[in-house]
Amino acid sequence: MKRHASRADSGYLQVKIRVPTDVRDRARGRRLSVVFPATATEPESTFTVTLGEFCKGSLQTRDARIADIRIHAVRAALMAFCDILRSGTVELTQRQIEALAGDVHRHLLAEHGDNPGTPREWESFKALTRAAVEGKIPGAPPIPERGRSDDEVMRELLFGETEGESLTETINGMPATWEARALEQRVGRLAYWALQSRGIEVDSETRLRLLRRIAVAALQAGGTLKRMAGGDFRPDPAAERFPPYQDMCKAAVSLSDIFDRWQRETKPAGSTLTTWRGILADFKRHLKHDDAIRVTDQDMVAWKDARIAAGRSLKTVADSDLACIRRLYAFAIGNKLVDRNPAEGIKVAVKKMAGTGRIPYTHDDIARLLRHAEGEGADYRRWLPILLATTGARVGELTQLSADRVRIEDGVHVLRIEPAADGGSLKNEGSERTVPMHPALIDSGFIDFARSKNGPLFYGSRPKRGARSDGEGRHASKSVANRLSDWIRTLPGFDDPRKGPAHSARHWWKSTALRSGMADSVADHLQGHAASGVAGRYRHHDDLRFLAAEVARIPIPLMKRAGGEALLTEADIAPILEPIEQS
C-alpha cells in the first residue's frame, strides 16, 4: 500500500485526505493552513489548500519520514477544523473581534517586519486595502497569511500612476458602495487564519464585522511597515489598543492563582518554590499586571530579552526563567484555566561551545579532595567528600542524611536515601533508594560518626534555617551543600569552572563504575537515575548483597596498599557482606 500520494508533474510527496461527509458542504471552498516547522534538512514552510471533497496538496518534501510527520500535522489540523464546523457558530463580542484583529496585526508585523521591502509596496498595500473596505473597487488581490500580496499591477489598473497625496485624492474621489466582495477577497484569508487559530466559526453577519476590523488592523500594520521600509523600526505605540483574546466562558485567572494551585497540587521542593516565586515576581513586574490570559507571545519575547539584557546567562533564561513560565501555563491548560501557552515555542539560542561542558574529576582530584577532607574538623567537610566519592549520590541527598538512615539491612551496611524528615525533598521518585556502603567508607570511621549523632548528620536538629510548614524556603541541608561547594573551591587545584565542586564527583563515580565493569542499569539505580525505556521499568535492583559487591568494585584513589598498588580484590569485598551488630 502506498504511503503517500504523488503527482506526475512534481517530485514532492503529496497528501490526499477525504473530507468527512458530514461537514464537506460547509468545508468546500474554505482554506486550511498548516505551518510545517523546519527540520535539519527542510526549511519552515506553509501548507495551504482550498478544501473540496479532499484535502490534498504538496507536503513540500521528498523525504518519506518527514512526509509522514507532515501528513499527521495536516490530518490533525483538518480534524480540528471539522470539529469547529460541527460545533457551530459562536457569537463574538466587540472586544473579541478587536482581539482577533490584533492577532492579524501582530502576525503581519512578525511576517514582514524583518524585511519590509520598499515604502511603495506598503503604499500599494494600504491603498488597495482602504479601497476594498470602503467598497470602492470591484475586487482586490488577497493578503496571504505568508508572503506578500501582488499589489502593484492592480494598483496601476485601478488608480493609475499616482503616488502619495495624489493617490489618496484618487481614492477619495471614487464612489463608495460599501459592498463586501472586494473586502472578502482582500482580507478573507486573514480572517480564516485568525478564526482557525482560535478554533472559532462565526455566522455571516459576525464575519462581515470581523472583516472590517481586520482590514483596519491591516491598514495600521501597513502604515507601520511602510515606516519600517523607510528605515524607522520603532514599534507601533498604537498596537497596545488591541486587547488579548479571551473566551467569554473563561473567567479571568491570575498568574498568582495558577502558581498557588500548581504549588498545592505538585508540592515542589522548597528551593524550587523560592526560585520560581522570584521568577514569577519579575515576570509580573515586567508585564505590569497579573492576568494570565492577557499575556501574549510578544510579552514573552520582550521579557526574555529583558532578562538577557539584565545580565542573566542564556542557559539560565532558557532552563529556569522560560521553563518556569512554560510549566505554569502547561499546568493551567491541563486544568482548563487557560487555552494557550504563550511561552510555548519561545527559545533562547543557547549554543553549547566546545570546551564549556561539565567534566568529571580525575582520580588525582578525588585523591587530593579526600586527603584534604581527612584533616578537617567540620563534620560536613570531613565526611561529605568521601560520601560523594563512594556513593555517586547528589550532594543534596547526602546533606539530608540522619543517624537513623545509616543502618544494616540484610547484613549489609547501607545508606537510606530519603527526603529529610523535617521537610526535605529529593529530585524525583527514583531518587529514593538504598545504597550499600563502600569498604572505604566503612573503614573511614563514618559509621562511628553517624552513631554519635541523634538526628541530622550535617546540620543541627534545630537549624537556623528550619523547614517552614508551608513548604516555602530552602531546606537547611541546602546551605550545607552550598558551604561544601564554597570550601572545595578554596582548595588548591579545584578552581576549574568546568568541574562542579560536588557534582563532578558524581560524574567521576559514574565513569569509574562503568570502567570497573558495573552495568549501566545498576549504576543508574545506585545514583538515583530514572530507568530509561520500558524495559528499564521491569528491572528491580533489590538484592543488597549483589549491589554491595558491585559498589566494592569501584577503586577509591585514597585506598593504597603498602606497596602502592591499587585497590580492591575479592578478599576486600567479603567484609561488607558480613553482618555487623549495631552498637
Tens of pLDDT along 501-510? 988 999 999 9
Distance between CA atoms of residues 532 and 439, nearest Å = 29
Of 36-40, 253-257, 389-393, 552-556, give the lowest mean pLDDT range: 36-40
> Which of 355-364, 504-513, 565-574 is the least confident region?
565-574
DSSP symbols for 85-148: HHH------HHHHHHHHHHHHHHHHHHHSSS---HHHHHHHHHHHHHHHTT-SS------SSS-
pLDDT of residue 117: 94
CB 296 within 8 A of CB 99: no
pLDDT of amino acid 129: 94
| Structure-model confidence comparison of residues 529 and 377, the more confident one | 377
* Lowest mean pLDDT across 457-466, 485-494, 539-548: 457-466
Q: What is the mean pLDDT of residues 410-439?
A: 86
pLDDT at 351: 65
Of the given ranges (149-158, 179-188, 302-311, 462-471), which has the lowest mean pLDDT? 462-471
Would the pLDDT of 114 be above 90? yes
| Average pLDDT rounded to a whole number, residues 32-49 | 86
104 or 149, which is more confident: 104
Q: Which residue has the higher pLDDT, 2 or 278?
A: 278
pLDDT value at 415 more than 90: yes
- pLDDT for residue 581: 35
Q: What distance in Å separates the CA atoms of residue 209 and residue 201, rounded to the nearest whole number?
A: 14
Q: Give, to the nearest 10 degrees, the angle between helix 503-515 and helix 379-391.
A: 30
pLDDT digits (tens, 9 = 90+) for 214-235: 999 999 999 999 999 999 999 8
Residue 461: pLDDT band by 50, 70, 90 thresholds? low
Q: What is the mean pLDDT of the chain?
A: 86
The reported pLDDT for the residue numbered 2 is 57
Task: Label each residue of 160-213 as H, E or C.
Answer: CCCCHHHHHHHHHCCCCCCCCHHHHHHHHHHHHHHHHHHCCCCCHHHHHHHHHH
How many helices, marked H, and strands, marked E, lie in the chain? 24, 8
The rounded distance, in Å, linking the Cα atoms of 82 and 168 is 43
110-124, 133-147, 464-478: least confident range: 464-478
CATH architecture entry for 363-577: Orthogonal Bundle (1.10)
pLDDT at residue 573 tops 60: no
What is the rounded radius of gyration, in angstroms, for the C-alpha atoms of the chain? 33
Q: Where in the chain is the domain with CATH 1.10.443?
A: 363-577
Whether residue 356 is predicted with pLDDT greater than 70 in this model: the reply is no
Contact 154, 128 (CB under 8 A): yes
Question: Residue 561: what pLDDT?
Answer: 42
Mean per-residue pLDDT, 133-143: 91
C-alpha angle 106/203/77, rounded to 5°?
55
Cβ neighbors of 353 (< 8 A, separation 6 or more) are none
The overall pTM is greater than 0.75: no
Cβ–Cβ under 8 Å, residues 507 and 498 = no
Question: Percent of the chain having pLDDT more than 90?
Answer: 51
pLDDT of 95 > 60? The answer is yes
* Euclidean distance between CA atoms 570 and 560, whole angstroms: 16
Pairing state of beta strands 54-58 and 10-18? antiparallel
Q: In terms of CATH architecture, what is 255-334?
A: Orthogonal Bundle (1.10)
| HEC assignment per residue over 399-424 | CCCEHHHEEEECCEEEEEECCCCCCC
577 has pLDDT over 70: no
Q: Which pLDDT band, with edges at 50, 70 and 90, does 178 fall under?
A: confident
Write out the H or E segment, with its range, that includes residue 309.
helix 297-309
Report the pLDDT averaged over residues 238-249.
79
Residues of the chain with CATH 1.10.150: 255-334
Q: Which residue has the higher pLDDT, 44 or 572?
A: 44
Query: Which DSSP symbol is given to 291?
Result: B
Buried b (16+ CB within 10 A) or exposed e, 417-432: bbbbebbbbbeeeebe
Task: Tell me: pLDDT of 583 over 90.
Answer: no
